Amino acid sequence: MTHALGTNPFSVYFSLNNGLSDTAPSLKRHLSNMKGMYADGKAQAAMLEGGDPLLYEFYDLGVKESEGSLAFGTSIVYPGKVGDEYYMTKGHYHTIRDTAEVYYCIGGRGFMLMENEAGDWIGEPFTPGKAVYVPGGYAHRSINTGTEPLITFYVFRSDAGHDYGSIETKGFRKIVVERDGAPAIIDNPHWT
């Protein structure tokens, strides 16, 4: 008897210290996977000549897609910057727009940057213990502005789907950069 994952009870370990599972494989995103996503393209190109650092990793356990099932896992964004812009996830809308996502920060600090298609945006601060609610209709991106890995545990409807389209071509309206030694949310110079 075989069942799709999510039909029966199961459990997965994710370390509260580093966010990593000891059984599930993570998906890894290196600097080379983020071409054109940082505002300072020259800085990104220069960095790539010296190597291809791991920017973040996360999990897709493969829970069956249905409107009653939930996908979950951890996201780990490592500390660092491309030029003066902090390491971040690619970010995405849900394909089924009206589906939410919840993130619970278990380590590190940064922002959940969110924007909707009407132009509303907000950067909710992440600190350990902070749960951030991403409502339906909001593209969302995790950004590490600290010196430790930014670790979040996330849950969303398993059939929500990921839509990167408009983000890959235009980015987000705002970017998060270091200014005078502190994080600042500023207009994305390439967003039109």
Site of interaction with a copy of itself (CB under 8 A): 6-16, 63, 66-70, 72-73, 96, 98-102, 104, 106, 112, 114, 120, 122, 124-125, 128-136, 138, 153, 155-157
User: Which is closer to a copy of itself, CB of 69 or CB of 188?
Assistant: 69
User: Which is closer to a copy of itself, CB of 47 or CB of 134?
Assistant: 134
User: Which is closer to a copy of itself, CB of 78 or CB of 153?
Assistant: 153
How many angstroms separate the CA atoms of 184 and 179, rounded? 6
Work out how close the CB of 173 gets to a copy of itself at its nearest, in angstroms, rounded to a whole number.
14
Length, in residues, of the chain: 192
Half-sphere exposure of 28 (CA within 13 A, CB side): 9
Work out how close the CB of 105 gets to a copy of itself at its nearest, in angstroms, rounded to a whole number.
9
How many angstroms separate the CA atoms of 132 and 112, rounded? 8
User: Which is closer to a copy of itself, CB of 7 or CB of 32?
Assistant: 7
What are the residues whose beta carbons fall under 8 Å from the beta carbon of 15, sequence distance 6 or more?
21, 22
Q: Which residue has the tokens 């800085």?
A: 43
